[in-house]
Structure 1
């Protein structure tokens, strides 16, 4: 455990010094603040709770930005050290390969979590001023917590990516493709199939089930399904995702998308030749 803690601490410090990651964290804070003011503006005219509208907007922001931030942190965690020769030196110490992977996962998740909590926390302070009497603060807190979890999912996926190629450039390209597939292309393909199917096979229940195969959609489902005002602010999408089955399915999806890639990363790195 001591070795894991030391590795996690090192990864945390390296992450918060990464200029690309710091830039993305700053963008998260700026966009969150912008959506706090601009995204909640229509609530007064349509009678929807201001905090609920903002939570829906921030959910979409998290889906696009947090996976990218996580992959920026983790795509070269293993292959980068192998290229620099520091991994061979590290493994001369009494540390197992699985401890290296788990330590990097914990450290990078904590770093990403700190950036996420800071960005959404600053936005939350302004929301506290704009909507102090809202009854939907638990939905906002669930958003912050699940956003940290979403980051952990993509850190684990990034570690799998980092263990596959021999060069950092190939890992970067693969990370971008993975982000594009999960955040953009999967939903486009699913919606295209839904339109072509004309509800003959893909009904609402099948559609929601297919969403669970994508961690980004599972995250969105979890945050839009749990609170009535947030479902109302999300419109028909939120209503279709309502119910305890949607919540439990989203949680199970996020759990498996965390544990399975992390286990796969350990397996790949254990068999990788340095």
Structure 2
């Protein structure tokens, strides 16, 4: 057990350093910070009088745009985790070391997810920081709570897409194909899925219940992330339904991790 944890720690540290050297930590943090600032100041300027909009409206916009950006950053961080090292010949070398395949998978997942978590924390913390400096007129306690939930739920969403990326990286023959497949999955999840549901709802009006529609929305991790944050914005506390959406994102991650471990154990390099 101690050897396993030591191996996981070494691999995770290597993956985190790779994200730093590849500038993903800097680029990701800057993108999330720019997203937050663009929403706050952009919505304030819409009316022509530069007045800040209510906090709930601002955070709803951040969540709506964040659901596009968070999975994309997760995909770009991890799409070449296995196929890239296979192309460079370093994966076979890694497997000759006293390093188990589960430890390799766990280490890569922890290192990449930690890098994504740092990006989210540094990027979205700009709003509470500006509130402390009296630049923004929002309640600091409420904003801090909403930002913390956004960071945590965004990390869970990113974790799901990192695991999806690891799956494709294990199955793809080269990096270009892996990236193409993952970008297609990203577009399907964050754009076309909700668009398709909207078309179906309009086409079959009065035949689809709200309960069935909510289930369809919750099936998609990106939609579950959006619902999780929107329901919190409408309530001062976390209702049971919102908590179940968070558990659902965790279940997505658990199932995908088991799948990745099975594929890695069966795969020959």
Give the alignment's TM-score, normalised by structure 1.
Answer: 0.87
**Cα displacement (A) at 1:253:** 2.0
**Cα displacement (A) at 1:8:** 0.4
Native 8 Å contact 1:36 1:127 kept in 2: no
Q: Does residue 220 of structure 2 align to residue 225 of structure 1?
A: no
RMSD over equivalenced CA pairs, Å = 2.4
* Aligned partner (choices 79, 84, 90) of residue 86 of structure 1: 90
Q: Does residue 234 of structure 2 align to residue 248 of structure 1?
A: no
Task: Deviation per CA, 1:176-195: give whole Å up to 9, x if none.
Answer: 11101111111111111111
Native 8 Å contact 2:124 2:147 kept in 1: no
Q: Does residue 137 of structure 2 align to residue 131 of structure 1?
A: yes
Report the Cα distance in structure 2 between the residues aligned to 1:155 and 1:82, rounded to whole angstroms.
Answer: 18
**Cα displacement (A) at 1:229:** 6.4
Report the Cα distance in structure 2 between the residues aligned to 1:225 and 1:198, rounded to whole angstroms.
Answer: 24
**Cα displacement (A) at 1:79:** 0.7
Q: Which runs of 5+ in 1 are unaligned?
A: 231-241
Q: Does residue 180 of structure 2 align to residue 185 of structure 1?
A: no
* Aligned partner (choices 133, 138, 151) of residue 158 of structure 2: 151
**Cα displacement (A) at 1:16:** 2.0
Number of aligned positions between the proteins? 260
Aligned to 1:234: none
Q: Does residue 176 of structure 2 align to residue 169 of structure 1?
A: yes
Q: Which runs of 5+ in 2 are unaligned?
A: none
* Cα gap change, 1:42 to 1:141, in 2 (>3 Å): farther
* Aligned partner (choices 40, 54, 64) of residue 36 of structure 1: 40
**Cα displacement (A) at 1:139:** 2.2
Q: Where do 1:1-274 residues align within 5 Å? A: 1-19=5-23, 22-39=26-43, 50-128=54-132, 129=134, 130-133=136-139, 136-137=142-143, 138-200=145-207, 202-228=208-234, 244-274=239-269
Give the alignment's TM-score, normalised by structure 2.
Answer: 0.88
Report the Cα distance in structure 1 between the residues aligned to 2:86 and 2:69, rounded to whole angstroms.
Answer: 28
Report the Cα distance in structure 2 between the residues aligned to 1:133 and 1:226, rounded to whole angstroms.
Answer: 16
